[in-house]
Amino acid sequence: MGILEVKGVGKNFGGLKALSDVNLSVQENTVHAIIGPNGAGKSTLLNCLVGKLIPDTGSVMFDGQSVLGRKPHEINQMGISRVFQTPEIFGDLTVMENVLIPCFAKRDGAFELNAISAVSGQNDMKEKAEGILRDVNMLDKRNMHAAAMSRGDKRRLEMAMCLVQEPRMLLLDEPTAGMARADTNNTIDLLKEIKEQRDITIAIIEHDMHVVFSLADRITVLAQGTPLVEDLPENIKGHPKVREAYLGEAH
């Protein structure tokens, strides 16, 4: 039994079959990559996991509980944090505030009318936020306007916002899309560090094979809405079906 169990998930958009009969089992404390050509249904699958979409058929269980029909904030409170393809941060707020918000979400739940005590007086929250900023080497930027940072920094900040919640599972949606080589390598290093230092399960959707093969413990190849193969990275590399899916020859 994996921590995340996807069984028979299907999703149609009008006449288009985006996903059909997707089965996936992600083991605890591993990095599981989902790869596939454009239009394979990777993002649709991820959106089904985080509550943005509700699948037409099948079930998604996280740690024995169904996530289907739950709102994004409820799924987050279950312990699943999500990183977006383009970093989603609070641009008008400072770096520190960006990290404080998930700290409060973790401590106080989905809603807390805490309108009288000052943020600046919450020393335990501040220490926690500073700790995670130190971990991702951003402590010196904590008073910066988040929107003013480079894309690589925004990505690291978003990662910090997820990690400070100590999620049990991290979902990454093409975290290196559109990044320069150097930024990509930094992201790989950051993810390796996270994997080594924390008890965390990571599911990653990725286009870049370099990223996938440097991180993944297991890989699922998705093509035209169904899983093609699932195997160890070294077996995926030369797999004929995978080559076929990537190099053309549409079914």
Partner 1 sequence: MFGLDAKDTRLVLIVAVLTMLAPFILNPFPEGSELAQFNAGYPDLMQRFVIFGIFAIGFNILFGLTGYLSFGHAAFLGVGSYAAIWMMKLLTMNVVPAIFMAIVIAGIFSLFVGWISLRRTGIYFSILTLAFAQMSFALAYSVLTPLTGGETGLQPKMADPRILDGSLAEGTTPRANLFGLQMSSSYELSVGGWLFTFNAGYYLAAVVMLIAFYISIRIFRSPFGMMLRAIKCNQQRLNYTGLNSKPYTLAAFVISGMYAGLAGGLMVAMDTQVGPERMFWTASGEVVLMTILGGAGTLIGPVLGAGMIKYMENIISKINSTILHEWFYWMPDGLEDFVVAMIYPFIGKGWHLTLGIMFMLVVIFLPGGLVEGGQRIARLFGKGKKAETDEGGTKPSSTPAE
Contact between 76 and partner 1 by CB under 8 A: the answer reads yes
Contact between 241 and partner 1 by CB under 8 A: the answer reads no
Q: Site for partner 1 (CB under 8 A): which residue of 14, 64, 118, 123?
A: 118
Q: Site for partner 1 (CB under 8 A): which residue of 13, 21, 59, 71?
A: 71
Contact between 6 and partner 1 by CB under 8 A: the answer reads no
Query: Of 10-18, 26-34, 87-95, 133-141, which segment contacts partner 1 by CB under 8 A?
Result: 87-95
- The amino acid at residue 130 is E
Contact between 178 and partner 1 by CB under 8 A: the answer reads no
Q: Site for partner 1 (CB under 8 A): which residue of 120, 150, 182, 250?
A: 120
| Residue whose CB is less far from partner 1, 106 or 239 | 106
Structure tokens at 230: 């699932």
Please, what sign has the CA dihedral across residues 59, 64, 69, 71?
negative
Distance (Å, whole) CA 144 – CA 238 = 46
- The amino acid at residue 141 is K
Contact between 176 and partner 1 by CB under 8 A: the answer reads no
| Residue whose CB is less far from partner 1, 101 or 179 | 101
Structure tokens at 149: 């940072």
SS3 percent helix, strand, coil of the chain, rounded to 5, is: 40, 25, 35
Distance (Å, whole) CA 11 – CA 198 = 33
DSSP code at position 86? S
Query: Residue 65's closest CA among 52, 75, 50?
Result: 75
Query: Residue 109's closest CA among 175, 165, 186?
Result: 165
Query: Of 6-14, 24-32, 106-114, 128-136, which segment contacts partner 1 by CB under 8 A?
Result: 106-114
Contact between 149 and partner 1 by CB under 8 A: the answer reads no
Distance (Å, whole) CA 171 – CA 50 = 9
Quote the least distance from Cβ 21 to partner 1, whole Å. 27
**Which x/- pattern over 150-169 shows residues binding partner 1 (rule: CB under 8 A)?**
-----------x---x----
Contact between 72 and partner 1 by CB under 8 A: the answer reads yes
The pairing of strands 80-83 and 169-173 is parallel
Give yes or no for a contact between 57 and 7, defined as CB atoms under 8 angstroms apart: no
Contact between 86 and partner 1 by CB under 8 A: the answer reads no
Site residues for partner 1, 7-46, by CB under 8 A, read none
Interface residues toward partner 1, by CB under 8 A: 50, 71-73, 76-77, 81-82, 84, 88-94, 96-97, 100-102, 104-106, 108-122, 143, 145, 161, 165
